[in-house]
Structure 1
């Protein structure tokens, strides 16, 4: 089937990412002042309680990502996605039928467990089924579908605000169950990760899955080399290394991998994107906008972000690499937020300078829909999923995703308070963090463009066996004994440990 099927599989798995975006986006809609029935039903919740409704979801995501690391290794990437989708159905059903705030928060926590699981395992699955030259595009679908989820949430919210009953907020929350159920059912017929099958000794299934995903009539030599490289690397790791969590920091190259993966996710949160995503209606309100206009602007922002994202992951990411977009994006986001702070200080709510307020809206949109969508948005998921060796890839990706959600809990909890108490000055915090992000990327992030997952050991300085895609040989290692084939030992790179 080849490339077209590979794209379909990656896109279908990304329904899990759609759930992430929709759930995150719709809660921002239903807790906004525009949803009068929600405010009335839950007794006009305070800023602290609103923050709790948002942040408890991220707390659930933290533990969901932790559980997914174990599940992905033991039952497979595919089945872990199915588990996450089932738990999402339960959490979304509880939110939809909530009778009080405690009921709603319980549903948010359970949905968070599911989204945390999916946010970790979906990009991992996409990365492991992707050929090297398309991995940025296929794994980048994670962020694209997150953006589409936000977009759909915004427009569903915009339409549901006109409902004059509790359906105003129950309907948008209940819609989440549909994609969760579709994902669960559809994963039954999608392939397992070839690398996970090899790790479990299911060689024939792995070869067939790889052929179905990557094979064409013209690239059979590539398939043979790619399969050989996977088998040799995984078998060598099984014979010569442990699979402990402590392996994540056991050597200098492994510690660098772990710190880099954590950093890319923490830096993503420190861009300030979740302030824009979760509290966008509040940002527009602070610029003097109200009513239906707020939700309309939010929907436009989401639509532009999705369009920019699909162009970026399709045409740019696998050509220019990971580092340049991260650097440019950090600079652009810092500039947008600095201008936003100045506009809010001088021409915020109560000002009659409509031109300045429109400029404020434009820079909110430019911040999220352009600079974030062409930098940390897609690249954070790509990067964390491609840098770890197979033996600890699931647990390493899990730790990085947990760092994302831990940062999200903190920022989601303090943002309503920060926006309420220090107003425009809160933007300055993220101007500083974006400058820090730029420096971290420049000095500490290696480039990973175009490398197979097995070739990442050369990038991080701990390669121990030759790679079939480099040597052109299908047997560089005695996979039964886990040792180098003597004739190929001259091209091996010395193992470098701390």
Structure 2
């Protein structure tokens, strides 16, 4: 659900009937950019709200809330009778997607066993890729329709996954860590047992051990932490967690992947393809990433960890954007008919999505949600996701104009950004592979040991009980 509304707009803004609906040829680049950026702006505010709703109502109810709001926004877009209504619908739908984009990886992180957490959270990126495949091919097919159904139908199809998610979420278990925060310990134990698929005494013992460790750490965190956003930089350890989570989300945007996703057809036109050819190539492009992502999260992510794939991705983007900018600069599409150069440029775009799918795509969501302790995981993931959407808004608003005005020089920006990313990741990012969420405290050097806090609490309680007993005697 979260990605189809993002993916379908790349096709819609190329449709002749949608251009006629906007009816402002002189400002179409600006207005089409607004259609994209208002959506991503709504995502920013949705992700911000989700930090509160996840703590107040839980991960499951927040997913249902996002689905309900998505139905409203998608219906407004499909039925829009003017451009203002379209923009409001995009904002509302974006608000819903912001909620879901923050909540889904958070929920997956909290229910996944440490050994396969990368795979489970990475599945969200897999579904994002599938959403883009569906969006791209729906867009390709709808270009042949001759009236406003050309753009209303693909926008109306957004209602289907939103409805399915709203209904299907009812069968999702609550996050056991959220249940423990609410004092619903027995429900949390039942969820942990269910997630472990307890069938033997050994399974039960392992599940009980994980539950006890989870409960002890969360109860200790409750004693020493609040829900204030200031906690994200209250200590050096928390500041590092926050910078890593925000950094990996922002660096994911510096990959330029959403520029390719939103404005892919425009980029292909800059390489000399016509509208129909651009949509066809965009459809093929959308299928490449999910294949690479599935292989990566299944066989590699939980083996090699988080840091190495991120470094590989940043280095790869420097190479692909360098080649792409050189091709467009050397063989300007408006004057050159060098088809080999066009094919090489398209190949670099395809390689970029492959490299993203085996690096920032799955890793950014995994790392951003797993580095925080339970008490700040919701607000921390919210802040990191907001940072993602903030830069998404920036790129979605300026990219169309930049590609039309400064052309190949726009790609140089991504070369520089990814070179900087590589250095920061290499020297400042930790490796979190295989650690439980409760073991992150040791990795980041938290000043408060949760086990010590619990031990102190138990000692104080025992001393108090002894004192009361002596007074009674």
Q: TM-score, normalised by structure 2?
A: 0.94
* 2:470 counterpart residue number: none
Which of 104, 121, 124 aligns to 2:86? It is 104
* 2:341 counterpart residue number: 356
* 2:352 counterpart residue number: 367
* 1:137 counterpart residue number: 119
Q: Does 1:36 align with 2:6?
A: no
Q: Does 1:430 align with 2:414?
A: yes
* 2:291 counterpart residue number: 307
In the TM superposition, 1:388-407 aligns within 5 A as 388-407=372-391
- What are the Cα deviations for residues 188-217 of structure 1, in whole angstroms up to 9, with x where unaligned? 121000000111111111011111112333
Which of 53, 57, 65 aligns to 2:39? It is 57
**Aligned CA distance change for structure 1 residues 359 and 195 (closer, same or farther; 3 Å):** same
In the TM superposition, 1:1-400 aligns within 5 A as 19-32=1-14, 35-43=15-23, 44=25, 46-216=28-198, 217=200, 218-349=202-333, 350-368=335-353, 370-400=354-384
CA–CA distance in structure 2, aligned partners of residues 260 and 362 of structure 1: 32
Aligned positions, number:
457
* 2:465 counterpart residue number: none
Bigger shift: 241-250 or 180-189?
Answer: 241-250
Q: Does 1:442 align with 2:426?
A: yes
Shift of 1:477: 7.4
Q: Secondary structure at the match of 1:446?
A: coil
CA–CA distance in structure 2, aligned partners of residues 207 and 24 of structure 1: 38
Q: Secondary structure at the match of 1:264?
A: helix
Shift of 1:485: 11
CA–CA distance in structure 1, aligned partners of residues 460 and 71 of structure 2: 48
CA–CA distance in structure 2, aligned partners of residues 343 and 297 of structure 1: 18
Runs of at least 4 residues of structure 1 off by over 2 A? 215-221, 240-243, 463-467, 476-486
- What are the Cα deviations for residues 154-175 of structure 1, in whole angstroms up to 9, with x where unaligned? 0000111111111110010010
CA–CA distance in structure 2, aligned partners of residues 484 and 59 of structure 1: 50
Residues 236 and 483, structure 1, Cα contact 8 Å, conserved in 2:
no
Shift of 1:480: 10
**Aligned CA distance change for structure 1 residues 159 and 229 (closer, same or farther; 3 Å):** same
Residues 478 and 485, structure 1, Cα contact 8 Å, conserved in 2:
no
Residues 236 and 479, structure 1, Cα contact 8 Å, conserved in 2:
no
**Aligned CA distance change for structure 1 residues 55 and 36 (closer, same or farther; 3 Å):** same
* 1:418 counterpart residue number: 402
- What are the Cα deviations for residues 309-336 of structure 1, in whole angstroms up to 9, with x where unaligned? 1111111110000000000111111100
Q: Secondary structure at the match of 2:17?
A: helix
RMSD of aligned C-alpha atoms? 1.7
CA–CA distance in structure 2, aligned partners of residues 362 and 252 of structure 1: 43
Q: Secondary structure at the match of 2:457?
A: coil
CA–CA distance in structure 1, aligned partners of residues 460 and 135 of structure 2: 53
Shift of 1:253: 0.2
Residues 265 and 275, structure 2, Cα contact 8 Å, conserved in 1:
no
Residues 306 and 433, structure 2, Cα contact 8 Å, conserved in 1:
yes
| CA radius of gyration, larger in | 2
CA–CA distance in structure 2, aligned partners of residues 372 and 93 of structure 1: 32
Residues 19 and 28, structure 2, Cα contact 8 Å, conserved in 1:
no
Shift of 1:483: 6.5
**Aligned CA distance change for structure 1 residues 88 and 483 (closer, same or farther; 3 Å):** farther
Note the residue ranges of structure 1 that are not aligned, 5 or more in a row: 1-18, 468-475, 487-498
* 2:469 counterpart residue number: none
Bigger shift: 216-225 or 445-454?
Answer: 216-225
Note the residue ranges of structure 2 that are not aligned, 5 or more in a row: 463-473
Shift of 1:243: 2.7
- What are the Cα deviations for residues 77-103 of structure 1, in whole angstroms up to 9, with x where unaligned? 000000000000000000101111111
Shift of 1:20: 2.3
Shift of 1:143: 1.1
Shift of 1:422: 0.5
- What are the Cα deviations for residues 402-452 of structure 1, in whole angstroms up to 9, with x where unaligned? 101111111111111211110011000101111111111111110000001
Q: Secondary structure at the match of 1:26?
A: helix
Residues 237 and 447, structure 2, Cα contact 8 Å, conserved in 1:
no
CA–CA distance in structure 1, aligned partners of residues 460 and 336 of structure 2: 72
Of Structure 1 and Structure 2, the greater helix share is in 2
**Aligned CA distance change for structure 1 residues 485 and 366 (closer, same or farther; 3 Å):** farther
Shift of 1:275: 1.1
